[in-house]
Amino acid sequence: MILQTTYAGAAFFAGDSIDNTNHQASVIGAVAAAHYIRAVAPAYGIPVVIHTDHCAKDILPWLDGLLDADELYYKEHGEPLFSSHMVDLSEEDVTWNIQITAKYLKRAAAMKQWLEMEIGVTGGMEDTVNHEHVDTSLLYTQSRDIHLIYTNLKQVSPYFSIAASFGNVHGVYKAGYAVLRPHLLRLHQEYVQEKEKTKTCKPVFFVFHGGSGSSAQDYADSIRFGTVKVNLDTDLQWAYLSGVRNYVMGKKDYLATQVGNPEGSDKSNKKYYHPRAWLREAEKSMTARVKDSFRDFNAVNQL
């Protein structure tokens, strides 16, 4: 299970009223979330990867702050606070993207920490990045760029993955906005394999951004061609909302007033409008959606 925060999501976790001028709210929120997950996850018996997502050029100080927290935690526990981070310089020059990513990978490598990077453009809108109107030809990463990244980063550490674009979009859009081409990942693998003269059939670890709205076949193909992480956000947001929406619509006669419902004018509605009641319904509907995803990703334990 991978739990991740974005820059804005981390600030929201800390509290929207906290000043984020110098990225402090996003650092505080992400660090707090990581400690919370570490404290609670053992009770569920679920291995969890703690990740931060989409650190673009203008918010690199956020990643610096997170790595500071990692190094402090590493000194005491022998492992970083976060399992992995993402550097997203996909809007920048490829050479500069690789150079800066390599710098952060070197820092992470000292803790055997994973780093994810992005090359090419993922369409749609995610957090503070809007690519809804980008030329769709930019949604497909070239094999030569994948090889260039691979050869440079593997000299620093083997612990990295590449979020390559193969028609991905953040969010869910009507058919025809973009066409997923998972087979491109296979071509990238073959290109790197040939250039590196390696017998490893899948030398590159890929990340599937914008997984929401995709078909089970798209998931299966991308995983078969070397995808090790799938981002699923928009579908889970919808599932979460659906639980709240269905609860409110089903209990509308109990939520119109604090006192008085179909069972009597003197009946209290507190147990119906208590946040734990409707938030739990959101959690249940999102849990059901996550279970569906695990089946799609071939990630269900075979007992």
pLDDT digits over 168-189, tens only?
Answer: 876 655 555 668 899 999 999 9
Long-range contacts of residues 292-296, Cβ cutoff 8 Å, at least 24 apart: 293/230, 293/232, 293/235, 296/216, 296/219, 296/220
> Token digits for 148?
């260039």
pLDDT digits over 47-73, tens only?
Answer: 999 999 999 999 999 999 999 999 999
pLDDT digits over 6-48, tens only?
Answer: 999 999 999 999 999 999 999 999 999 999 999 999 999 989 9
Query: Where does CATH 3.20.20.70 sit in the chain?
Result: 122-232
Q: Compute CA 174 distance to the chain's CA centroid, rounded to the nearest angstrom.
A: 22
- In degrees, rounded to 5, the angle at the alpha carbon of residue 302 between the alpha carbons of residues 40 and 296 is 80
Residues with catalytic function: 53
Q: What is the pLDDT of residue 88?
A: 94
Rounded Cα–Cα distance for residues 36 and 243 (Å): 24
pLDDT digits over 111-158, tens only?
Answer: 999 999 999 755 444 555 544 444 455 568 999 999 999 999 999 999
* Total-model pTM: 0.89
Architecture of domain 122-232: Alpha-Beta Barrel (3.20)
- C-beta separation of 56 from 97 below 8 A: no
End-to-end CA distance of the chain: 18
Q: What is the pLDDT of residue 140?
A: 84
Model confidence at 288: pLDDT above 90: yes
Rounded Cα–Cα distance for residues 199 and 204 (Å): 12
pLDDT digits over 230-279, tens only?
Answer: 988 889 999 999 999 999 999 999 999 999 999 999 999 999 999 999 99
- Percent of the chain with pLDDT strictly greater than 70: 90
Q: What is the pLDDT of residue 168?
A: 81
| Phi (first) and psi of residue 118, to 5 degrees | -120, 140
Q: What is the pLDDT of residue 139?
A: 67
Rounded Cα–Cα distance for residues 97 and 101 (Å): 6
Beta-bridge mates of residue 268: 259
Q: What is the pLDDT of residue 23?
A: 98
